Structure 1
Amino acid sequence: MITPSNLHKGDLIGLISPSAKIDPSILYSATRLLEAKGYRVKQGEHALSQHYYFAGTDSQRAHDFQLMLDDPSIKMIICNRGGYGMVKIIDRLDFSCFLDNPKWIAGYSDITVLHCHLAMLYKTKSIHSIMPYDFPADGNSCLAIDKLLEVAGGKKPTYNLPTHDLNLEGSANGMLVGGNISILTSLLGSQSELDTEGSILFLEEVGEPLYRLDRMMQTLKRSGKLSSLAGLIVGGMTKMNEEQEDYGLSAEEVIMDMISDVNYPVCFGFPAGHFPENHPLIIGGEVSLSVNKNSVKIIFK
């Protein structure tokens, strides 16, 4: 896998909106925060555009992304928010210049499309992380932002986690892939579809009724995405409407129901997903997962 160049203080970070529109005040606050940390910031030409639900038309959003992929002065690209829209522009993008000078691209949720595309087609790492849309409203930094910038700067993260009643013990090594469950299932049959064999899969979700989560997990299982894993890391299951449904299972139990007979380690409760402390993960990075009755350790190599 290709590792993008490290980010350094003074480098230029590009902020783009490839999916849903974003409030200008959020983007201005994020710009000030990153500048205060010693980076220069360039906003995409249409970062604040509005075209109904989207941050500009498909052509405008693709134009912004292409310029930042091609611009060698931009050392990192951070997507401003998710929502929906990345899949509408992904096939318009030309990664030729990017591959000559690979840079970190960060985001999550709808940006799962890009993570999968980069890992599967271009064998290039990216960062699943917090985005400006989720930066603290008071304009201050938080641990998730600090860790994102550390990872972009070359630090390989290590996570020590508490145990979870649903964890399955074991140890594994493999390439980390994954992201948002609904996005992963939507990519099946496309050129960006994940090959999960021998990999450690990360999953997170937000705002889905449990029957939809169940259906998506059934789809991943029936398509073979869960059978040949080296390991599974489950992150946030946020606002899943569990208290409003008589489904008989929690979101985590729905996932466990799909993998109850596997022989690889499974870790629940990783702090990444749709909540403020969305800690960074290197998609495409080699990772060691160790789960036992007393602790969970995740080490990027």
Structure 2
Amino acid sequence: MIQPTILQKKDTVAIVSTARKISLAEIQPAIDLLKKWGLNVEIGATIGLEDHQFAGTDVQRTADFQKMLNNPKIKAIWCARGGYGTVRIIDTIDFTAFQKHPKWLIGYSDITVLHNHIHNLGFQTLHATMPLDVEKNSKHALASLKKCLFGKPVSYSIKTSKENKLGTVTGELVGGNLSMLYSLLGSDSSIQTAEKILFIEDLDEYLYHIDRMFMNLKRNGYFNNLKGLIVGGMTSMHDNAIPFGKNAKEIILDTVSEFDFPVVFDFPAGHLKDNRALVLGEKIKLKVGEEETTLSF
């Protein structure tokens, strides 16, 4: 996988919205953070635009993202927020200039569409926090983003969850938001997971939806020859009046019970304050031990 050029001070980062609307005031903390890191900031035309819930029309969001992709002075594109909308424009984006001069694409949640589509083009991307979240993020989340952008070594060590399946593996890291992975199945943006390590996270879903999505990933071969599974935040899950009977961890373990790859729960990434940065498309070593789990790039 091709890695975009690491950032240097005075490089320019663009902030755009490919999904839900957002104001300039909401991203000001992110602007201040980038400037503190010695970077310049280019504000996209979609910041402040409004078309119902979207940051402008599909045409406007496409044009803004395309402009930043094509501009050689822009070294990274930071998606302002998620929500919904990126899938509506993905097939109208021309990645020709990007493939000649790749740059970091940063975000999570709905931005999984871009992560997966760009992964299939052969390039690494950065699953990390977004401008909307900067004020509430942990210092570890923001530090990890800075390290990844500036090419500093990144590794994580967390306490092992009692539900984990132990093991040590190496492989290319792929994935993102579970709902988005599910929605991309059968499209050009759906990823291949064989011999790779899959990361998933999600927010605000019913437990039976989690079961349905995991069953569909299984039926599409996502777990065949998978090296390992990393589960980030499964945040604010819901149940029906008649309980589903399993929590999110139990659903996942039940779905992958026939496979022998290691499984990590409670990894600090996703819809969490402590949303650590992950380089998708990078080779990692994952060691799931009885007391400690480590992930190193």
User: What TM bracket, shorter-length normalisation?
Assistant: over 0.9
Q: Which runs of 5+ in 1 are unaligned?
A: none
2:131 corresponds to: 132
Q: Does 1:148 align with 2:145?
A: yes
Q: Which letter maps to 2:14? A: G
Residue 106 of structure 2 corresponds to residue 106 of structure 1: yes
For 1:209, the equivalent position in structure 2 comes to 206
1:196-237 deviation line (CA, Å, top 9, x unaligned):
111100010100010111111110111111122011101000
Q: Which residue of the partner structure matches residue 281 of structure 1? A: 278
Q: Give the drift of 1:46.
A: 2.0
Whether contact under 8 Å (1:200, 1:230) holds in the other structure is yes
Is 1:194 the equivalent of 2:191? yes
CA distance in 2, matches of 1:168, 1:114: 30
CA distance in 1, matches of 2:134, 2:114: 21
Moved more, 32-41 or 50-59: 32-41
Q: Does 1:177 align with 2:174?
A: yes
Q: Which residue of 1 aligns with 2:57?
A: 57
Contact 2:262 2:288 (8 Å CA) reproduced: yes
Q: What number of residue pairs does the alignment pair up?
A: 297
Instruction: With the length of structure 1 as denominator, give the TM-score of the two structures.
Output: 0.95
Question: Which 10-residue stretch deviates more, 147-156 or 80-89?
Answer: 147-156
In structure 1, how many angstroms separate the alpha carbons of the residues matched to 2:295 and 2:181? 22
Write the distance in 2 (CA, Å) between the matches of 1:179 and 1:66.
22
- TM-superposed deviation, 1:143: 2.3
Give the distance between the partners of 1:222 and 1:98, measured in 2 at CA.
Answer: 33
1:44 matches 2:41: no
Contact 2:196–2:226, Cα closer than 8 Å, also in 1: yes
Contact 1:17 1:48 in 2 (8 A): no
What is the CA–CA distance in structure 2 between the aligned matches of 1:200 and 1:221, rounded to whole Å?
Answer: 15
Maintained 8 Å contact 2:118/2:124:
yes
Post-superposition offset of 1:245: 6.4
Is structure 2 residue 216 aligned with structure 1 residue 219? yes
How much does 1:244 deviate?
6.9
What amino acid is the match of 1:287? I
Q: Deviations over 1:35-82 (max 9, x none)?
A: 122211011112220000100000100101111111111111100000
Q: 1:29, CA displacement in angstroms?
A: 2.6
Give the distance between the partners of 1:126 and 1:253, measured in 2 at CA: 30
Superposed structure 1 runs of 4+ greater than 4 Å apart: 242-245
Distance between the aligned counterparts of 1:271 and 1:92, measured in 2? 33
Structure 2: which amino acid aligns with 1:125?
Q
**How does 1:161-176 map onto structure 2 within 5 Å?**
161-176=158-173
Q: Secondary structure at the match of 1:147?
A: helix
CA distance in 2, matches of 1:184, 1:264: 20
The 8 Å contact of residues 87 and 113 in structure 1, kept in 2 or not, is answered as: yes
The range that moved more, 53-62 or 253-262, is 253-262
The answer to whether the Cα contact below 8 Å between 1:229 and 1:264 also exists between their aligned partners in 2 is yes
Please show how residues 90-101 of structure 1 align to structure 2 within 5 Å: 90-101=90-101
